[in-house]
Amino acid sequence: MSKMVNMLSILWLLKTRKQLTAKELAEELEISIRTVYRYIDALCASGVPIIADAGHNGGYSLLNEFTKAPLFFNLDEQKALAHAAKFAIDAGYPFSETLDEAISKLKMYTNEEQLNHINRHLRGFEVIHPTIESALKSILQELEIAVAESYRLVIVYHKDRGIEPQLRHIDPYGLVYWKGKWYTVAYCHLREEIRSFRIDRIQSLSRTDKKFDRPLEFSARSFFLKGLLPDPNQQEKLISIRIKGNVHALDDLCQHWLFNHGLIERKNDQALFKVDKESIHSFVPHFLLSFGKSITILEPTLLQEKLATISFELFNHYQNTSLH
């Protein structure tokens, strides 16, 4: 058997038989006593709290609390888990209390050297994210359970301002975290199609006694992105956007999710993109306004006119505000 299999076997034997000598372990695994010593040392270095009692009735045993923790991790794995937990908690993970308890247990079963290592790497690792409301967290928790257990839900959904909230029956297929917002991708029985719903617009939800069958191989992430990005099979419907600007502004622009996807050509002071017409009529001009005079739209004329119109409307808005 491999070294890892033997180490796990030693761990399992100690967990089930309370105390064993090196000779008993060697006979059980059909390895030498010297090899048992090496594996015991390796387990201790990994943070497994193995107690060695000398004397006639001595042997190896596990610290009582460790019987509840069947896995062990090396330093890099412990650091990665602690980093991932901090990122998830600060980003609004709905089961943050449980995750925090899990990391506390991980730290509990490490030795002093490993705990110092984890804490050193956590000190300089921060995530800045708006605080998630407790009501939203409870909705996320219920949605996660509904996705896993295939529960049909009734939600009160407020789609837009000025429109009355609607009652929807949905089959939630998955949860997506996108640009600081949580969404659920679900089959909507009102619209009779799969749609995405912003979680912060769900005013309330309740579980029904009905269950649903999730489509095989369905990906909530793929469905969500398909609604955001242009269809690659309809290139003839995409419009070319050529932009000139300073290097740093173009670098930032090319990292944006839509422009990165539509990037065709990049030179030092110019970039060519292919974007769908709907985006040009909606958020693209508003987004490009944030770059100010650091960029210049060379084409199309449609986008130049949209930017000019929005700028003129803003000018009039604030000019009228200052007059009052």
The SS3 assignment for 261 reads helix
Cα gap 176→224, rounded to integer Å: 8
Average pLDDT estimate for 61-74: 64
Same domain, 196 and 162: yes
Residue 221 inside a domain? The answer is yes
Residue 116 inside a domain? The answer is yes
Strands (E), 179-262: 181-188, 193-198, 202-211, 238-245
Domain termination site, one of 24, 39, 68:
68
Taking alpha carbons only, the member of 141, 138, 171, 140 closest to residue 154 is: 171
Whether the per-residue pLDDT at 69 is higher than 80: the answer is: no
Residue 129 inside a domain? The answer is no
Domain enclosing residue 178, as ranges = 134-227
Residue 128 inside a domain? The answer is no
How many domains are there within the chain? 4
Higher model confidence: residue 41 or residue 63?
41
Mean pLDDT over the full length of the chain: 87
* 50 confidence band (pLDDT: 50, 70, 90): confident
DSSP character at residue 38: H
Residue 118 inside a domain? The answer is yes
For residue 125 the two structure tokens come to 């690792």
Same domain, 60 and 81: no
pLDDT at 9: 84
Residue 103 inside a domain? The answer is yes
CATH number of the domain at 298, please: 3.30.70.240
* 292 confidence band (pLDDT: 50, 70, 90): very high
Same domain, 52 and 103: no
Domain termination site, one of 227, 255, 280:
227
Domain termination site, one of 202, 227, 252:
227
Cα gap 228→222, rounded to integer Å: 10
Same domain, 207 and 278: no
